[in-house]
């Protein structure tokens, strides 16, 4: 199977087969597992990318992988955002190329060293039911499919493909009561009707479809179908409230859906994840905190996330946008239940929404307020956006007559929104995935990275066998016999070499499950702890990133939080015996040491 470079969009089966093939081909680096099953019986997959074997080729246990600092990536929260799903696969394929030596020996060594110390957890498709439905006859849905409700009546015009071309475009029919006319500046485009327009030129305009539960009289839009009206990205714990927008809702309660529950449970079970990206479309931007004016995050966390974002998008053409106040649909409404907000405010990691693909920028246009465009679109900008895709293959269809089963003669045509605005045209997908991968590459460079250094020093004191006395006898040259006892000073230094602190954000220290910085000495037999506490804990270790954001040479300063911790013990033991030492560097990793006296 040749490597994937974004040549086309893949069906659900093709996507899952490719991931399985990667796992089968590279078991030393990839673990693929199902973490849940959807209503339709599809697996929600998790891919772990990290070194999975020791130096002898023996497969490591899951506990070993959980000791490594990690990056999280997911895609497909919104089923129609196929570019994000493609981007996740593209990431894995590029990392595997380097791990397998296809990019040269030097790149291979670098990647093998990195993935021996770190992990990437990737959930390739959060909503497989919705994704699969869109490859069938479903014209659009936000996230996933729900069971029907008998008490919900959905009468009116519903969207679906009428002419069998696989795309639900626009539909129009002439009528003097219509709200639209043809745009005189652009043949085939429609604009809102004005007071001085001739009623004989008016049209009714809607998405291609037909009426259900129709009384034969009213021409009304049906409410968004209940089964497809869930926005999963309003079903997460952060600031959840009952929510409705554009006919969608955020579920019955936080994590009411299988998919959102699977995401949160899977993430929470891997507490050394230190940074995260969730892929969406279509703004061409990295969305960052704050999500609301009264955010629980500190100013330092918000500033740090903004700085990471700016560095992550360098050279990509993407923007960095703060959700509040620059990416809100309604200035008076709270942004609720969002996964990336949950990542930062609940779990305390820098979690970003990466919105791939900017159709406006692609057409030489500026859209400074992308969220507001949906609630209050600029007609001139909308016209220019549509015109920009006129010459793109399969993007635009001229108006064609069609005999509607209920309305008689209508015309079908217009833009394929799915493959122009919501996602890049196929021919432009590859270039977009190069950009998103650059962001992922930068994000993994932010992870905290804790290394240990153990010093074992024999003190100039020998001991009689413990059964005889507890009093030390000083000697210059102790005789090393099997039962000769000796005092040893143990010093363990933990040092964070990463950008982020070992709690990731300050907010991370508030999450009760955030791994601590600690060390535990495990003695055996009649070994005796003379001084020091067997299990010790220190404050979280700072990363180099926070201090790097200061004023530099104008007013240099050390980090407010040191990057080192030292743990010490004095132990009495026989020469030649061994003991164990276990340490945790927070989200910067964990490890163990074998001590030989």
What separation in angstroms does the CA of 511 have from each of 424, 448, 507? 38, 17, 7
Count Cα neighbours of 115 within 13 Å in the Cβ-side half-sphere.
Answer: 25
User: Closest by alpha carbon to 246, among 329, 357, 179, 328?
Assistant: 329
Location of each CATH 3.40.630.10 domain in the chain:
12-135+234-357+425-444
Count Cα neighbours of 231 within 13 Å in the Cβ-side half-sphere.
Answer: 20
The length of the chain in residues reads 597
What separation in angstroms does the CA of 415 have from each of 389, 420, 580? 8, 8, 66
Q: How far apart are CA 517 and CA 500, in angstroms?
A: 14
Q: Which helix (H) or strand (E) holds 371?
A: helix 370-375
Superfamily for the 12-135+234-357+425-444 domain: Zn peptidases (3.40.630.10)
Question: Considering the entire predicted model, what is its pTM?
Answer: 0.94
CA 543 from centre of chain: 22
What separation in angstroms does the CA of 348 have from each of 502, 503, 589? 11, 8, 16
pLDDT in tens, the chain (597 residues): 789 999 999 999 999 999 999 999 999 999 999 999 999 999 999 999 999 998 888 999 989 999 999 999 999 999 999 999 999 999 999 999 999 999 999 999 999 999 999 999 999 999 999 999 999 878 888 999 999 899 999 999 999 999 998 899 999 999 999 999 999 988 899 999 999 999 999 999 999 999 999 999 999 999 988 888 899 999 999 999 998 888 899 999 999 999 999 999 999 999 999 999 999 999 999 999 999 999 999 999 999 999 999 999 999 999 999 999 999 888 778 899 999 999 999 999 999 999 999 999 999 999 988 888 887 888 889 999 999 999 999 999 999 999 999 999 999 999 999 999 999 999 999 999 999 999 999 999 999 999 999 999 999 765 544 443 334 433 334 434 445 889 999 999 999 999 999 999 999 999 999 999 999 999 999 999 999 999 999 999 999 998 888 655 667 778 888 999 999 999 999 999 999 999 999 999 999 999 999
CA 198 from centre of chain: 51
């Amino acid at each position: 199977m040749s490597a994937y470079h974004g040549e086309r969009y893949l069906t659900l089966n093709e996507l899952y087969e490719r991931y399985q093939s990667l796992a089968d081909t590279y078991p030393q680096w990839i673990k693929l597992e199902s973490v849940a099953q959807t209503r339709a019986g599809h697996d929600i997959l998790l891919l772990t990318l990290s070194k999975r074997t020791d130096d002898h080729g023996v497969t490591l246990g899951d506990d070993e992988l959980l000791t490594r600092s990690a990056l999280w990536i997911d895609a497909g929260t919104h089923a129609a955002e196929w570019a994000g799903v493609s981007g996740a696969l593209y990431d894995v394929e590029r990392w595997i190329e380097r791990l397998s030596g296809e990019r040269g020996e030097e790149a291979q060594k670098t990647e093998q060293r990195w993935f021996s110390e770190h992990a990437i957890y990737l959930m390739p498709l959060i909503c497989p039911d919705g994704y699969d439905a869109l490859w069938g006859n479903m014209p659009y849905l936000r996230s996933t499919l729900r069971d029907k409700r008998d008490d919900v009546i959905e009468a009116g015009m519903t969207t679906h493909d009428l002419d069998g071309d696989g795309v639900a475009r626009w539909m129009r029919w002439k009528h003097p009561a219509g709200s639209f006319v043809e745009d005189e500046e652009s043949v085939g485009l429609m604009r809102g009707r004005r007071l001085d327009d001739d009623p004989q030129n008016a049209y009714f305009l809607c998405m291609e479809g037909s009426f259900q539960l129709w009384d034969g009289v009213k021409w009304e839009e049906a409410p968004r179908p209940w089964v497809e009206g869930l926005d999963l990205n309003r079903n997460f714990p952060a600031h959840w409230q009952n929510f409705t927008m554009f006919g969608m809702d955020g579920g019955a309660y936080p994590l009411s859906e299988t998919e959102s529950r699977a995401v949160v449970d899977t993430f929470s079970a891997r507490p050394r994840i230190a940074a995260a990206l969730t892929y969406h479309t279509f703004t061409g931007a990295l969305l960052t905190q704050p999500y609301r004016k009264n955010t629980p995050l500190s100013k330092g966390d918000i500033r740090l996330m903004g700085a990471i974002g700016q560095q992550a998008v360098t050279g990509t053409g993407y923007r960095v946008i703060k959700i509040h106040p620059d990416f809100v649909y309604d200035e008076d409404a709270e942004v609720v239940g969002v996964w990336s907000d949950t990542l930062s405010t609940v779990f305390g990691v820098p979690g970003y929404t990466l919105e791939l693909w900017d159709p406006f920028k692609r057409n030489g246009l500026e859209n400074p307020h992308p969220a507001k465009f949906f609630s209050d679109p600029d007609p001139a900008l909308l016209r220019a956006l549509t015109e920009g895709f006129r010459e793109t293959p399969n993007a635009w269809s001229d108006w064609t007559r069609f005999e509607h089963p209920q309305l008689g003669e209508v015309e079908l045509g217009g833009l394929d929104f799915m493959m122009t605005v919501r996602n890049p045209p196929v021919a432009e997908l590859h270039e977009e995935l190069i950009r998103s991968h650059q962001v992922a590459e930068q994000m993994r460079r932010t992870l905290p990275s804790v290394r240990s250094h153990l010093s074992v020093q024999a003190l100039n004191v020998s001991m009689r066998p413990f059964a005889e006395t507890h009093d030390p006898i000083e000697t210059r040259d102790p005789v090393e016999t099997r039962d000769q006892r000796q005092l040893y000073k143990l010093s363990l230094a933990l040092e964070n070499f990463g950008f982020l602190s070992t709690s990731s954000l300050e907010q991370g220290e508030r999450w009760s499950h955030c791994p601590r910085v600690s060390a535990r000495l495990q003695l055996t037999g009649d070994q005796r702890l003379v001084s020091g506490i067997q299990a010790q804990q220190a404050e979280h270790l700072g990363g180099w990133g926070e201090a790097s954001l200061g004023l530099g040479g104008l007013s240099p300063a050390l980090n407010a939080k040191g990057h080192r911790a030292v743990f010490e013990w004095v132990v009495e033991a026989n020469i030649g015996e061994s003991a164990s030492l276990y340490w945790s560097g927070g989200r910067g990793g964990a490890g163990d040491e074998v001590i030989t006296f």
